């Protein structure tokens, strides 16, 4: 019965066409999908309460005999009311009512034994049960008289209905072979599949449901770890181009900079250099706070690649950011006689001059451009590097595994070294799982002389004060950002909201100042124009949606107001704030919030006091759960796996377990059940 989990529900006689259609709405196609559709909580209907002791507004389960039943038509309200009187063993009785289910009349035959679970209501001084769950007494109750599973009820599918779907399948679970090898179950004290499936759906006790849940959390993280482990093994069998290290030239490069590198920058650069000299592909993440100077470390690595006669691709998530990197980097390389290319979907440049895109591509393919900076149009099929040795991905949390995989396929046979950079620290648990086996370089200290950004939560009453503060700064010659509130995804109108905010600022608050508007719908050229105008101080205040989140450098901007700050994740807020405080002047960030909730304020206070993005990311994970980390929620990971990503112990155990299994059987040949599950997993996930 290997295939039972993968059996289509269409082949189960029990499910008619209507049921199949309903289940498909939940993306349930196979028996396995249904059995792995877990309840998210349980109602405890396990204890019967004597009718004599019922109290209003309590959840109860009673057991009794049907004394009488009738339907009442309420014509005015076009409603049918079914009324049954139930009497328990002690001879007490209670009325129970249901709305618009006239067929109940036929079920509630006098003399039948029934369990009812629900809330006790007080109706005209009499206690009654309103719309309770009912179940006629049998050996094996589903909806009453036990711990009753409650499922996520989407698309109008009720828990009652889902229970009826799941229950009959559980009779066959002892025929399903367990995918977890026995030795793992022993080491990590996990229950078997059959037991766990029964207990997660219809637990005998809450403790047993917890044990079952732990097993499935283990299973799902374990599959994820196996997947990551196998990917890793694939890469490990390939060679990387070795990069020559010329120490004297490296020193000359460092000496040419207008500042001294910090200790952390030096250390990171050194780690990268050592990796690149090997023929194993580097997979290193350079983590450093906003403004910590990651770009120059990556630029140095690219420079060494160029010196060694190879090529480097430097990718950023947006055109603006690519251009900003380009403008900084090309003159640096130019002084050493290297040409630097810029390639985005809208333009192509070589050493500062615009060129036809075709020409740039040709030169890249001929290996004449050692360093190319650009957006992901760099990894499109039509660009083939001659000898790509290094790929740098800036703001890596925005690039998914897929894009990375594309890049890695680029070079025939050889896999380039990969350096990713992020200011959003990846919490340790996520680093170990979703992003696999990364080596880390940390830049912990900012360059000398940076000032802290003064950050304050501003309640609605003080809004005017914040606006006056902006006016004062602008009078001093500074500039400001206003970050528009995040609108609910479902509204899909961030542009409209930003436009409204922009108009309000321009007409009502700052009529005498020049305001610009930046949002994601603008064409890249328009965005560039606005950013250029802001940089040239033709605009005093830039109202922007979250598109300013990454990278942009405007040293003269000293104030930022973040509207609806409570709607953003801490990591995003932290990134926004990093847009100010990039010059010599004292900078300020005001978090505007209308939310009086203390949880919100706790979150915002974390950023008020945070001096490092690292503490903050851990805090964010703790407060909001990993679902809010970019890419995780959309990844297609099972909910239970996502919820368990914060469980460091489980993450480590599953990682250990995956290593053990893969060391015995790297392609899972000895574990066909696991191999099938990993394949199913792979087809389902998509890291954005």
Among 66, 196, 290, 505, binds ligand ADP (CB under 6 A): 290
Q: Which of 436, 438, 387 is nearest to 416 (CA)?
A: 387
- Which residue is associated with the tokens 């025939």? 412
Q: What is the dihedral of CA 608, 611, 616, 618, to 10 degrees?
A: -140
Q: Which of 57, 21, 44 is nearest to 150 (CA)?
A: 44
Q: Which of 502, 494, 491, 556 is nearest to 521 (CA)?
A: 494
Count of helix runs (H) and strand runs (E) in the chain? 23, 23
Query: Looking only at Cα atoms, what is the longest distance across the chain?
Result: 99
Q: Which of 245-253, 285-293, 489-497, 621-629 is the region at the interface with ligand ADP (rule: CB under 6 A)?
A: 285-293
Residues 386-425 close enough to bind ligand ADP by CB under 6 A: 423
Cβ 570 to ligand ADP shortest distance, Å: 17
Among 14, 40, 103, 259, binds ligand ADP (CB under 6 A): 259
Among 30, 96, 225, 262, binds ligand ADP (CB under 6 A): 262
Query: Which residue lies nearer to ligand ADP by CB, 46 or 265?
Result: 265
603 touches ligand ADP (CB under 6 A)? no
Contact 240, 281 (CB under 8 A): yes
Cβ 117 to ligand ADP shortest distance, Å: 57
Among 181, 291, 524, 627, binds ligand ADP (CB under 6 A): 291
Distance, in Å, from the CA atom of 647 to the CA atom of 626, rounded to the nearest integer, reads 11
Q: Which of 53-61, 111-119, 145-153, 287-295 is the region at the interface with ligand ADP (rule: CB under 6 A)?
A: 287-295
Contact 312, 370 (CB under 8 A): yes
With left for phi above 0 and alpha for psi between -120 and 50, is residue 271 left, alpha or beta? Answer: alpha
Q: Which of 257-265, 342-350, 598-606, 609-617 is the region at the interface with ligand ADP (rule: CB under 6 A)?
A: 257-265
List own/partner pairs for 245-250 with CB under 8 A and 24 or more apart: 245/273, 245/276, 245/277, 245/304, 245/308, 246/304, 246/307, 246/308, 249/304, 249/307, 250/300, 250/303, 250/304
Query: CA triplet 100, 102, 108: central angle to 5 degrees?
Result: 125
Query: Which residue lies nearer to ligand ADP by CB, 423 or 483?
Result: 423
Query: Which residue lies nearer to ligand ADP by CB, 291 or 367?
Result: 291
261 touches ligand ADP (CB under 6 A)? yes
Among 294, 376, 417, 677, binds ligand ADP (CB under 6 A): 294
Which residue(s) pair with 93 in the sheet? 87
Distance, in Å, from the CA atom of 231 to the CA atom of 195, rounded to the nearest integer, reads 32
| Other C-beta atoms lying within 10 Å of the C-beta of residue 560 | 27
Residues 98-127 close enough to bind ligand ADP by CB under 6 A: none
Query: Which residue lies nearer to ligand ADP by CB, 207 or 260?
Result: 260
Residues 12-41 close enough to bind ligand ADP by CB under 6 A: none
- Which residue is associated with the tokens 């954005």? 688
x/- mask, ligand ADP, residues 264-283, rule CB under 6 A, reads -x------------------
How far does CA 249 lie from the centroid of its chain? 42
Distance, in Å, from the CA atom of 9 to the CA atom of 16, rounded to the nearest integer, reads 9
Among 203, 293, 317, 569, binds ligand ADP (CB under 6 A): 293
x/- mask, ligand ADP, residues 188-227, rule CB under 6 A, reads ----------------------------------------
Q: Which of 5-13, 145-153, 256-264, 512-520 is the region at the interface with ligand ADP (rule: CB under 6 A)?
A: 256-264
Cβ 289 to ligand ADP shortest distance, Å: 7
Task: Give the residue ranges of DSSP H helices in 625-669.
Answer: 639-644, 648-664
Give kind and range of the element (H or E) at residue 679: helix 672-684
Cβ 518 to ligand ADP shortest distance, Å: 19
Cβ 247 to ligand ADP shortest distance, Å: 20
Q: Which of 54-62, 294-302, 480-488, 569-577 is the region at the interface with ligand ADP (rule: CB under 6 A)?
A: 294-302
The answer for residues whose C-beta is within 8 angstroms of residue 281's C-beta and 6 or more apart is 235, 238, 239, 240, 408, 415, 416, 417, 418
x/- mask, ligand ADP, residues 433-472, rule CB under 6 A, reads --------------x-------------------------
Among 30, 82, 292, 308, binds ligand ADP (CB under 6 A): 292
Among 62, 86, 296, 470, binds ligand ADP (CB under 6 A): 296
583 touches ligand ADP (CB under 6 A)? no
Among 203, 229, 288, 317, binds ligand ADP (CB under 6 A): 288
Distance, in Å, from the CA atom of 223 to the CA atom of 679, rounded to the nearest integer, reads 10
Residue number, nearest CB to ligand ADP: 293
Query: Which residue lies nearer to ligand ADP by CB, 324 or 654?
Result: 324
Residues 555-574 close enough to bind ligand ADP by CB under 6 A: none
Residues 234-253 close enough to bind ligand ADP by CB under 6 A: none
DSSP designation for 485: P
Reading the block at residue 331, the tokens are 């003159």
- Which stretches of the chain bind ligand ADP, using CB under 6 A? 259-262, 265, 288, 290-296, 423, 447
């Amino acid at each position: 019965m290997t295939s039972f989990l993968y059996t289509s529900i269409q082949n189960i006689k029990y499910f008619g066409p209507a049921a199949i259609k309903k289940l498909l709405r939940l993306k349930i196609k196979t028996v396995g999908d249904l059995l792995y559709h877990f309840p998210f909580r349980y109602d405890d209907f396990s204890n019967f309460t004597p009718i004599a002791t019922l109290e209003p507004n309590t959840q109860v389960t009673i057991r009794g005999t049907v004394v009488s039943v009738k339907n009442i038509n309420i014509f005015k309200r076009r409603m049918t009311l079914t009324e049954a009187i139930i009497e328990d063993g002690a001879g007490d009785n209670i009325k129970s009512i249901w709305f618009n289910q006239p067929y109940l009349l036929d079920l509630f035959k006098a003399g039948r034994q029934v369990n009812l679970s629900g809330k006790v209501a007080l109706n005209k001084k009499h206690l009654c049960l309103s719309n309770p769950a009912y179940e006629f007494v049998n050996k094996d109750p589903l909806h009453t008289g036990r711990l009753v599973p409650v499922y996520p009820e989407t698309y109008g599918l009720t828990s009652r209905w889902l229970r009826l779907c799941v229950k009959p399948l559980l009779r066959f679970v002892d025929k399903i072979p367990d995918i977890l090898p026995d030795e793992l179950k022993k080491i990590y004290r996990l229950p078997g599949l059959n037991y766990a499936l029964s207990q997660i759906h219809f637990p005998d006790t809450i403790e047993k449901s917890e044990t079952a849940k732990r097993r499935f959390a283990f299973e799902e993280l374990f599959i994820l770890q196996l997947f990551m482990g196998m990917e890793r093994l694939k890469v490990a069998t390939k060679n990387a181009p070795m990069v020559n290290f010329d120490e004297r030239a490296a020193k000359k490069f460092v000496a040419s900079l207008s500042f001294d590198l910090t200790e952390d920058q030096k250390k990171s650069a050194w780690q990268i250099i050592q990796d690149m000299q090997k023929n194993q592909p580097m997979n290193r993440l350079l983590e450093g706070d906003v403004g910590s100077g990651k770009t120059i470390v990556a630029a140095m690595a690219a420079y060494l690649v160029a010196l060694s006669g190879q090529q480097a691709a430097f990718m950023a998530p947006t055109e603006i950011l690519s251009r900003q990197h380009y403008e900084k980097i090309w003159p640096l390389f130019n002084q050493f006689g290297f040409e630097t290319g810029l390639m985005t979907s809208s333009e192509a440049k070589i050493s500062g001059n615009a060129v036809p895109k075709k020409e740039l591509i040709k030169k890249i393919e001929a290996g004449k451009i050692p360093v190319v900076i650009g957006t992901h149009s760099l990894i499109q099929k039509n660009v083939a590097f001659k000898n790509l040795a290094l790929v740098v991905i800036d703001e890596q949390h925005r690039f998914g595994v897929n894009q990375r995989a594309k890049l890695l396929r680029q070079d025939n046979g050889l896999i380039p070294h990969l350096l990713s950079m992020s200011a959003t620290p990846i919490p340790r648990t996520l680093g170990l799982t979703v992003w696999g086996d990364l080596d880390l370089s940390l830049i912990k200290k900012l360059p000398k002389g940076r000032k802290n950004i003064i950050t304050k939560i501003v309640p609605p009453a003080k809004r005017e004060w914040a606006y006056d503060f902006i006016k004062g700064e602008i009078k001093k010659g500074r500039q400001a950002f206003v970050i528009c509130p995040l609108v609910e995804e479902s509204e899909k109108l961030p542009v409209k909201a930003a436009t409204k905010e922009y108009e309000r600022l321009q007409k009502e608050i700052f009529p005498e100042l020049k305001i610009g508007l930046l949002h994601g719908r603008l064409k890249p050229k328009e965005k560039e124009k606005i950013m250029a105008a802001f940089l040239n101080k033709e605009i005093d205040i830039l109202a922007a949606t979250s598109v300013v989140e990454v990278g942009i450098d405007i040293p003269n901007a000293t104030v930022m107001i973040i509207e609806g700050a409570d709607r953003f994740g801490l990591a995003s807020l932290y990134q926004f704030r990093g847009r100010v405080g990039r010059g010599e002047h004292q900078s300020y960030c005001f978090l505007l919030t209308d939310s009086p909730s203390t949880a919100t304020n706790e979150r915002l206070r974390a950023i008020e006091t945070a001096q490092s993005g690292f503490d903050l990311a851990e805090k964010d994970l703790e407060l909001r759960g990993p679902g809010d980390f970019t890419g995780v929620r959309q990844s297609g990971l099972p909910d239970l796996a996502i919820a368990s990503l914060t469980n460091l112990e489980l993450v480590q155990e599953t990682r250990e377990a995956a290593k053990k299994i893969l060391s015995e059987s790297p392609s899972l040949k000895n574990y066909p059940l696991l191999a099938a599950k990993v394949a199913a997993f792979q087809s389902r996930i998509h890291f954005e």
